[in-house]
Structure 1
Amino acid sequence: MKAGNFELPRYLDRIAYRDEARPDLASVTGIMRQHLRAVPFENLDVQAGKIVSLVPEDIVEKIVHRRRGGYCYEVNGLLAMALAALGVEYRFVGCRPMTYSARRPRTHMAILARLDGEEWLCDVGFGSYGLRAPIRLNGTGAVEQDDDVFELLSQDGREYVLRARVEGDWANQYCFDLAHHEWVDFMPANWLNSTHPETLFTRHRIVMRQTPEGRVILFDNRLKTIAHGTTTTRHVTEDELPALLAETFGLEPTA
């Protein structure tokens, strides 16, 4: 995954990553954490009636140069560019979201990166209880990441299920297998998420950013703040929205 206008130093500055960037687990963990805190998951373009562009240069222009966020294809695509620039071997996987009441198609994108001789699931584009750091593909047991707890399960070594502890119970987030996916394979799913009248992204405004304490989520006009397991909510008026996007999510009011 490459773009002619991608520059690793400028990307690292965008996410405020200040340490040395190396092709190893420690660096990618730090980059992923900073990306999640600096670049919000958001679907404001879809809400404005636009079809999200998967042209790599457009993604760089939007997120790095204009300091916007994006949804899974955009933010994970940008992370893939950084991995490529670092010399990290990776591949895309197509994931089936499991947070809906009905079975859904494989519309989510994540990344498997080879770090320190093993494969790790990396994902900066799941806007709910998403990972906060890489998780080992063939690890065992629950993994604590800040105040969140995750587990990556596999019964046969083919299909994997990522689940998270949500209010004390395990909740499936998405599943995937190891089938090879190319960038072009996600274009139909992107079209679906950008245009179908019944997708989550066309029906609801979603903006989410991780924080060291938890995460902040704007869903339509409800702002939810999760800090160390405690959740608070409040209503946001349309008049308050531009300032909220700028101050809480780091987005320009014109977004």
Structure 2
Amino acid sequence: MHCDIFDLSRYFRRINYTCPAAADSTTLHAIMRHQLFSVPFENLDVQAGKVVSLVPEEISDKILHQGRGGYCYEVNGLFAMALEALGIPYRFVAARPMFYPVRRPKTHMALVAEVDGRQWLCDLGFGRYGIRAPIALDQLNSDIKQDFDTFKLTCDAHGEYLLQAKVEGEWCNQYGFDLSPQEWIDFAPANYLNSTHPDAIFVQKRLIVQHCPEGRMILLGDMLKTVTANGVEKQQLAEEEIDAVLQSRFGLVSRT
């Protein structure tokens, strides 16, 4: 992938990153955390009736210049541009969301970066129970604590990885993937489905997630949830309150 207008220094300003950067695992961990805590997961374009663009230059412009966020193809796509600019090898992988009651297609985009002799799962766009730092693919069958969340990664004999999150004391499947490398164009059908299909959650409801060191804020429809180690606080919003909450809690000025 090549993005002609990606500006690494502007990316660092957008994610509030001021430390030295190199093609190493320290930088990989740091920029994933900084982006996760600075750029919201959001589907406002879909809610406005738009099909989300997968053009790298348009994603870069939207997030870096317009101060927006995006859903998985956009926030993980932006992260891929940063890895490329830093000289960190990576591949896109197609992941199958597995928390639904029925089997779903591989509609989720994640990344596997290769640095310091290890492969790392990176993902900045999986909503509430998304990982909060890279996970080494050789760190299998063990509890992986990230802040107040706990994850587990397993791999079967066929090379199929499964990411799980501990939810209320129980392991819950999040998504499965293998290491078959994907290209931008491979996600075009899934992106169109997520942008337009009436059964897609992104079409049905407003969904904004902003992670922070203490937890995460989630706006689903008109319900605002604040999730911390102490529990979940819920607040029902009136429609006329939405714009102010988008700006004050998520840094999003416009819904279109």
TM-score normalised by the chain length of structure 2: 0.97
- What residue number does 1:92 align with? 92
Q: Which residue of 2 aligns with 1:17?
A: 17
Note the C-alpha offset of 1:156. Answer: 1.5
CA contact (8 A) 2:3 2:57 kept: yes
Is 1:251 the counterpart of 2:241? The answer is: no
Q: Which amino acid aligns with 1:19?
A: C
Q: List runs of 5+ in structure 2 lacking aligned partners.
A: none
Query: Counterparts of 1:13 and 1:155 in 2: how far apart (Å)?
Result: 40
> Once superposed, what is the RMSD of the aligned Cα atoms?
1.0
Q: 1:217 to 1:254 in 2, by over 3 A?
A: closer
Structure 2 counterparts to residues 142-181 of structure 1, below 5 A: 142-156=143-157, 158-181=159-182
SS class of match (1:76): helix
1:1-150 matched pairs, under 5 angstroms: 1-140=1-140, 141-150=142-151
Tell me if the contact between 2:48 and 2:255 (Cα under 8 Å) persists in the aligned partners: no
Q: How far apart, CA to CA, are the structure 2 residues paired with 1:25 and 1:149? A: 21
Distance 1:114 1:46, change over 3 A: same
Matches of 2:180 and 2:5 in 1, distance apart?
29
State the distance in 2 between where 1:54 and 1:96 align.
19
Provide structure 1 residue ranges, at least 5 long, that are not aligned to the other structure.
none
Counterpart amino acid of residue 221 in structure 2:
D
Q: What CA distance in whole angstroms lies between the structure 1 residues aligned with 2:218 and 2:162? A: 24
Residue-pair matches, total: 255
Q: Output one character per residue of 1:15-72: Cα deviation in whole Å (capped at 9) or x when no partner.
A: 1011111111111111101111110001010011000000111101100100100000
Contact 1:47 1:201 in 2 (8 A): yes
Over 6 Å off, 4+ runs: none
| CA spacing shift, 1:23–1:157, aligned 2, 3 Å | farther
Does the 8 Å contact 2:123/2:130 carry over to 1?
yes
Q: Write out per-residue CA displacement over residues 165-210 of structure 1, whole angstroms, 9 at most, x where no aligned residue.
A: 1111111110001112111101111011111111111111100011
